[in-house]
Structures are given as C-alpha cells and as structure tokens.
Amino acid sequence: MSDHKAEAATLASTTLEPIVLEPTAALTVEEVLSVHHWNDHLFSFKITRPASFRFRSGEFIMIGLQGDNGKPLLRAYSIASPSWAEEIEFLSIKVEDGPLTSKLQKIQPGDHIYLGRKPVGTLVTDALSPGKRLFLFGSGTGLAPFLSLIRDPDVYEAFEQVIVVHSVRTVADLAFREELESQLAGDPLVEDQALLQLTYVPTVTREEFHTTGRINTLIDNGRLFEGLKGEARLVPESDRVMLCGSMAMNKDIAAMLEGLGFVEGSNNKPADFVIERAFVG
C-alpha cells in the first residue's frame, strides 16, 4: 500500500467514528429530529421527547453534548414547545467560540443530544396571580419560553389578552415571525383562542422596521398598548408580566415595574411579574 493510501485509510478510521452518548442518572439521550437555521447566528431544533418527560410550559432544562474532556457539556435552555407537544424544541444563538454552541450549531437530524430529566423555572403561570392581560417581554432567544406558553390552552383560560413583545437587533433575528404574525393559524389546540386573544409586537433596535425601539421605550411612549383592550399603561391590579432576555433588559424593566407598584412573584409566592434568573437569553 502506498504512503498516500495508508494515510487516507488511517484518517478514515480515526475521523468517521461517531461519538456515542450514554444516559446518566440525570440525563437521557435524545435524537435530533430537525434543525432550522434562521440566519448566521440563530437556529432552532427539535428533539425526541421521552415518554416520562413532564414539564410546565415556560420551564427550562439542561441540554448538551459531549465535551472535549469526554464528560457532558451542559447549558440551560428554555423549552420552546408547549407541554403537550410530542417533540421538544429549542431556540439558540450561535457563538463560534462558545464551549457548547460552537458544537451545537453543527448538529443535524439523526445526531444525539443530552437532555436533563428535571425541568424547572419561574416563567410559569403558577408564579403569577390572576389577571386580565399577560405581557410576555423577551429579547433575542428570550422568546423561547413564550413560544411554549402561547401554545398552551391554559394560558388563554387564565388571561383575556396575551401580548408577546419580541425585541431584536435586526429584522432577520425575528425568529418564528411568520407563525406569530398569523396568530398561530393552524395550531391544533389554540388556533381559535389565539386568533381572538393573542397579540404579537415585534420591535427592531438597529434597522428600519414598522416598530422600532427597546421594550421600555414602547411602554413609555404608549406604542405598546395600541390596539389593546384596557388602559394604555401597565396596571399592577390587572396586568401580569414575564421577562426573559438580556440582563440589562430584565433589570431595566423590573425596576420600571417595581416603580409602578408591581411585585415580583415566584413558584412559592405568586405575584405580579416574574423573571427567569437562571440564565441570560
């Protein structure tokens, strides 16, 4: 055998061996079913759902791949699919030098991924007191838990109006825009309710768009409340708010809400607004 053929054979034997993930007491191993790349720094993907996996819409879970040291490399991700879905969906950014996302962005259908066994989180209706309007304020991939919540029939039973406000830098970052603009047309469970009760407010901060500016700006100038029933301001007696986005956004809007008399809630003590503090989307 020539040196060239021998080298090629050696490369083939060393590079084509797939990494086999093994489940642990805390992790199952699931198959990637589909991947959608929204742009060069944003993608979503669906994986299989174990029969025993239960979660509340809005919660997050640990997912990951095998790290360079052979151990699971995990990060917290909000679940973007509703609690009734047969598959589990996630929305992720792409970070070229990110320990996990540099690998995760390359996954393809048929690949395998770690999934935690214990979902948790505060972006759940259980952490809010009863109200009339539910405002879901998200920036970037902070949209993910709200994609879960707005496809849950219980949310429409609990609130008269559900308003999703998604703030991004560029128009291309408006993931799931078509689905949201259609008010979830064709959804098997909430199509009728969403048509009457769901409002989608996309806003872009660094490009021309029909709505521009950060979420707190839209609150201040009243643009957020155009077309909604009720007062053109946030009312702690009847409005409820969920926050999931950058640390700066969460901090600024939380301070605004507290200044208006809103009280932060939790699973143990439901109140007027909640923040996902486990990670920054």
Q: Lowest-confidence range among 20-29, 231-240, 272-281?
A: 272-281
Instruction: Give bridge partners of residue 78 from the DSSP assignment.
Output: 60
Average pLDDT over residues 1-28: 66
Tokens 């902070």 label which residue? 142
> 133's torsion region: left (phi>0), alpha (psi -120 to 50) or beta?
beta
pLDDT value of residue 95: 92
**Distance separating alpha carbons of residues 23 and 218, to the nearest angstrom:** 46
pLDDT value of residue 7: 52
pLDDT value of residue 89: 98
**Distance separating alpha carbons of residues 91 and 64, to the nearest angstrom:** 13
Answer yes or no: are the C-beta atoms of 51 and 40 closer than 8 Å: no
Condensed to tens digits (0 to 9), the pLDDT of residues 66-107 reads 999 999 999 999 999 999 999 999 999 999 899 999 999 999
**Distance separating alpha carbons of residues 97 and 83, to the nearest angstrom:** 32
Answer yes or no: are the C-beta atoms of 33 and 46 closer than 8 Å: yes
> 247's torsion region: left (phi>0), alpha (psi -120 to 50) or beta?
alpha
pLDDT at residue 128 above 60?
yes
**Distance separating alpha carbons of residues 49 and 72, to the nearest angstrom:** 19
Residues of the chain with CATH 3.40.50.80: 125-275
What is the residue-averaged pLDDT of the chain?
Answer: 93
- Give the CA count within 13 Å in the CB-facing half-sphere of 50: 16
Residues of the chain with CATH 2.40.30.10: 21-116
Q: Lowest-confidence range among 6-15, 138-147, 188-197?
A: 6-15
**Distance separating alpha carbons of residues 239 and 218, to the nearest angstrom:** 16
β pairing state of 72-78 and 87-93: unpaired
CATH architecture of 125-275: 3-Layer(aba) Sandwich (3.40)
Answer yes or no: are the C-beta atoms of 190 and 152 closer than 8 Å: yes
**Distance separating alpha carbons of residues 56 and 208, to the nearest angstrom:** 37
CATH architecture of 21-116: Beta Barrel (2.40)
Average pLDDT over residues 32-44: 97
pLDDT at residue 65 above 60?
yes
